[in-house]
Structure 1
Amino acid sequence: MLKQSSILSRLIDRCLTRPRLLGPGRGSPRRAVRRILVFGRIPNPTVDYYLVARLEAAGMPPFELCDIRNFRAAELEAEGSFVLICRYASPALVSWIERHSEVLAGVGLFLDDDIPAVITGEDADLPYRLFLWYRAVFPLRRLNRQLDCLWLSTPRLAAAIGETGARLLPPAPPAKLWQRPQAADCGDEVVIAYHATGVHVAEHRFLRPIIEKVLAARPQARFEVVAGPGASGIWKGLERCDVRLPTSWNSYLESMTSARVDIFLVPLTPSAVNDCRSPTKRIDVARLDAAGLYSASLSYGFGHDRGEIHLSHDAKEWVRAILALIDNPAERQAVAAATRAEVAAMTALASVGLPEIAKHFQEKCDSGFPSGNA
């Protein structure tokens, strides 16, 4: 028998609007593109991991990044602009789109999470659920009538959204975002890390007894965890454990330029939300030049192909794998190199830009408009 909370979640889920392509373009810009206006809560990792390198690719229109928290309609040029929304919109932005619909080149949306599943799931706190509804779901009631293009990060997310005209857009980070100088060797100490947001409480609970066993078995090991207020208490009372609260995206990137991590943990508890995730944590692992341990999953794979290590959701298996990497520096280097190769392949995907938009920009260039990025 289903729990009442599960039944309620399903009822709420059915009431949450999904993105639908109802605009005149239906899968491509509706007219020639002069520029791209990217809207979202900027800066953020989604823009950097999926969009920036593609927008900078040869043959793409000039682009501008616009934070919806500082929306200035008077400073925007609507005619010939393609509006690309990254996850979040605001009522002011949607109203601006509606007012200028006849002159915009088109409207697109990019999503990298099953946001309705996050809202109805168990990990997110109430303020975050309300934020997601207000910024990502509520605007779709009006935005869908304008939506020409929809890009989604994974096939499973596309299946969950259910819009057949959506295009897949896997992560493609700029090389400069992960190819960074690493910290000097700190001798025999081995640093293990897990960095997560507030929607990964289940993963924190899964890791807590694992890390306790590892630290007890290896006195040279130290653990570093990024945990929001809802999860930080899970780590209380554990020695050689450094608990940090999440910071802004730019502050996090800056701190990682000098951080030293040897083993980076990427667990994913089985859930509808996690099934839709893409392997962006690989980028963080590569940036730190760390050895990654990943959950066997749709996101990261199920075998030990190409030198990476994928583990079942079994605590004993994770303990054994972490201890083995602590004891074998050469293996850590090999596993780290395997992840760097995977991320380099991601970066290569950016070279084609966004073909749907690039095609319309080329048509416009042939008509005499200037090309090149701003």
Structure 2
Amino acid sequence: MSRLRERLARWIERRLPQPRLREGATNRPRRLVKRIIVFGRMPNPTFDYYLAARLEAQEMPPYQVVDIRSGETTALEAEGTFVILCRYASPSVLRWIEINAEHLAGVGLFVDDDIPAVVTGNDADFFYRLFLWYRALWPLRRLNRHLDIVWASTANLAANLACARAVVLPPAPPLALSQAARSDRERQSQPGSEILIGYHATGVHLEEHHFLRPVIAEILRERPQVRFEVFADRRAKSIWRGLECVEIREPMAWIEYLADANTQKIDIMLVPLAPSRVNDCRAATKRIDIARYQAAAVFSEGAAYGHSNEGTELRLPYNASLWRETILRLVDDSELRETVAAATHQAVMQLAWAAVPGLESLKPDKESNFAL
């Protein structure tokens, strides 16, 4: 039955709208870029992880950010404007693009998820899948007539968007977002003190909740000093009920989540990724959250975070026994936690430096970048 469902899901995916460049587009602006407008559901992590620092880079045109939920587009200047859609579009934004198409310097779309696979998959709840259809897929029927550039967050995702000839744009967070505000002295745990383990999941990781539950249950039984916190939506909450020393937290708005990292200390953070087509397209953005919390991380090995023989970070196969053993090692060894946390912090700093060149194709002095 699962194979039949998977085949049906793939059949549906192939018939869902996909990004495609307009006729004659070459992944470059149409003309000189005087300014940039970014449309999206603002504020959000996608903008902060991928676009904010690049738009702040030297020689980039001025930019502004517009929340698509406001519906206010009439006062926006279109002449010479390059539009970037951050995942989503609204009817009012689409109308504004259509009305001003002859005046725009171009239109680009940034995508950081295999959205058709999420829509046809099991992990996301019905209302989120409906939202993705309405805000991310359905608008493509109108938007594709105007697209000059499509950016994708990973090479695997770009391969899935082959019809759009997507350009890979890896995570590049602002340095301020990736640097921890607290001192090392505040971060270090004292021997024998309480250890907090966190799993900060979004609403599309139901399988990973099921994977972690017995692992955490055993760790809590074996290490009385451990507490566990998990972000869980209404479906995932039931998985964690009945365990002592577990705090189930409601998913937060992005601004609240950023503030939480300045007040909360987490010793170990978990990033399991079940084998799936959706997870194969994920980028390593969870590293950024972990660096802010100054935690030691355990990652699933794979396309997003690499493999077990690469560097100092802990990357494991999707095997419950290995996860249990590795988490226990981290609980018992504060020096190991410090080493692992430092490795992730260094990896995030390297991501941040990737923003320095900005978005080269949109710089106004790059005459050769303009499509003819």
Quickly name the TM-score band, shorter chain normalised: over 0.9
Q: Distance in 1 between matches of 2:255 and 2:312?
A: 31
CA contact (8 A) 2:178 2:352 kept: no
Shift of 1:232: 1.3
Q: Which amino acid aligns with 1:357?
A: L
Give TM-score scaled by structure 1 length.
0.94
Q: Which moved more, 1:55-64 or 1:5-14?
A: 5-14
Match of 1:343 in 2: 348
Instruction: Kindly indicate whether the alpha-carbon contact (under 8 Å) linking 1:153 and 1:170 is maintained by their aligned counterparts in 2.
Output: yes
Matches of 2:101 and 2:352 in 1, distance apart? Answer: 34
Aligned residue for 1:52, secondary structure, equals helix
Instruction: Please state how far the C-alpha of 1:304 moved relative to its aligned partner.
Output: 3.7
| Distance (whole Å) between structure 1 residues aligned to residue 366 and residue 166 of structure 2 | 23
CA contact under 8 A between 1:232 and 1:243: conserved in structure 2? yes
Which of the residues 183, 191, 197 maps onto 1:192? 197
SS at structure 1 position matched to 2:171:
coil
- 334-343 vs 67-76, which deviates more? 67-76
Aligned length: 362
Change (3 A) 1:164 1:130: closer
1:3: Cα distance to partner?
A: 4.2
Deviation at 1:285, TM superposition (A): 0.8
User: Paired residue for 2:7?
Assistant: 7
Contact 2:269/2:295 (<8 A) preserved: yes
Match of 1:177 in 2: 177
Report SS of the residue matched to 1:321: helix
Tell me how far 1:363 sits from its aligned partner.
Answer: 5.1
Residue of structure 1 equivalent to 2:167: 167
RMSD: 1.4
Residues 200-250 of structure 1: per-residue CA shift (max 9 Å, x gap) = 001111000000001111011110111111111110011000110101100
Q: 2:74 is paired with a residue of what secondary structure?
A: helix
Among 273, 294, 316, the residue aligned to 1:289: 294
Greater Cα shift, 3-12 or 20-29: 3-12
**TM-score under structure 2 normalisation?**
0.95
Name the SS of the counterpart of 1:145 in structure 2. coil
Structure 1 distance, partners of 2:178, 2:319, is: 30
Aligned 8 A contact 2:13 2:116 in 1: yes
Indicate yes or no: 2:352 matched with 1:362.
Answer: no
The Cα offsets for residues 49-98 of structure 1, whole Å up to 9 and x where unpaired, read as 00000000001000000000002122200111000000000111111101
Partner of 1:121: 121
Residue 161 (structure 1) shift: 1.6
Q: 2:227 aligns with which of 210, 222, 231?
A: 222
| 1:103-162 deviation line (CA, Å, top 9, x unaligned) | 000000000000000001110111111100010000001101100011101010011122
Partners of 1:333 and 1:247 in 2: CA distance: 27
Aligned to 1:306: 311
SS in 1 for 2:144: helix
Q: Report deviation, 1:185.
A: 4.8
Aligned residues of 1:24 and 1:30 also touching (Cα < 8 A): no
Task: Judge conservation of contact 1:20–1:144 (CA < 8 Å) in 2.
Answer: yes
**Deviating more after overlay: 171-180 vs 270-279:** 171-180
Shift of the 250–23 alpha-carbon distance from structure 1 to 2, 3 Å rule, reads farther
Query: Corresponding residue for 1:315?
Result: 320
Residues 11-20 or 148-157, more deviating:
11-20
Secondary structure of 2:305's counterpart equals coil
Whole-angstrom distance in 2 between the partners of 1:150 and 1:164: 6
Q: What is the letter of the counterpart of residue 284 of structure 1?
A: D
Aligned structure 1 segments of 4 or more residues deviating by more than 6 angstroms: none
Query: Whole-Å Cα distance in 2 between the matches of residues 301 and 7 of structure 1?
Result: 29
**Residues in 2 aligned to 1:323 and 1:139: alpha-carbon distance in whole angstroms:** 47
Match of 1:248 in 2: 253
Matches within 5 A, 1:62-81: 62-81=62-81
The correspondence of residues 66-105 of structure 1 with structure 2, limited to 5 A, is: 66-105=66-105
Q: Distance in 2 between matches of 1:268 and 1:3?
A: 21
SS at match of 2:307: coil
In the TM superposition, residue 273 of structure 1 has moved relative to its aligned partner by 0.1
Residues 60 and 353 in structure 1, CA contact (< 8 A), matched pair in contact too? yes
Give SS of 1:305's match.
coil
Moved more, 296-305 or 176-185: 176-185
> What is the match of residue 367 of structure 1?
none
**2:107 partner SS:** strand
Q: Give 3-state SS (helix, strand or coil) of 2:263's partner.
A: coil
Which sections of structure 1, spanning at least 5 residues, go unmatched?
Answer: 365-374
**Where does the alignment leave 5 or more consecutive residues of structure 2 unmatched?**
368-372
* Partner in structure 2 of residue 371 of structure 1: none
Equivalent position SS for 2:28: coil
8 A Cα contact 1:190 1:221, kept in partner: yes
**What do residues 240-288 of structure 1 show as CA deviations (whole Å, max 9, x unaligned)?**
0011010110011111111110111000000000000000000011111
Moved more, 213-222 or 301-310: 301-310
Cα distance in 1 for partners of 2:313, 2:49 equals 21
Alignment of 1:254-273 (within 5 A): 254-273=259-278
